[in-house]
Amino acid sequence: MERTTYAIALGSNRRGIYGAPAATIRAALAAVGGVVAVSPIIASAPLGPSIRRYANAVALIETRDSPPVLLARLKRIETAFGRRRGRRWGSRVIDLDIILWSGGVWRGPGLTVPHAAYRDRGFVLAPLARIAPRWRDPLTGQSVRHLAHKVDRPRLRP
């Protein structure tokens, strides 16, 4: 497979073997490798039951890995960093998600690219817009900049 680009979301809200969440994100970036761009690390409120704030970032990486091969590698990194599967949206040492792929759309067992929920997550879109504002969603055709603007825009309540 030729080299392709992926947008990878990184999140952490629990200390791990590499220290505080921001340090864990930096260590995870080194473990993933192939990084060509990385957003600033931002703080965000948790989704779901966790009460700890998250450190979040997005990186663009280049690799020859197919989406399922990259996903397996990311899961191995999560495990090596101390992530244990548990409660959905609970606190975690590290979370690594494939958000976008320069190859477009991928659907397979356990993996859908683009990530199903990224269009509604400001903590993914804001950092992604800093490093890839013109990347177009392969399903909607909208740019990341446009998607980030939509998610941040105040909405009227019915």
Active site residues: 83, 92, 95, 97
Three-state helix/strand/coil letters over the chain? CCCEEEEEEEEECCCECCECHHHHHHHHHHHHCCEEEECCCEEECCCCCCCCCEEEEEEEEEECCCHHHHHHHHHHHHHHCCCCCCCCCCCCCCEEEEEEECCCCEEECCEEECCCCHHHCHHHHHHHHHHCCCCECCCCCCEHHHHHHHHHCCCCCC
CA distance 83 to 78: 5
Q: Is the dihedral of CA 99, 5, 3, 23 positive or negative?
A: negative
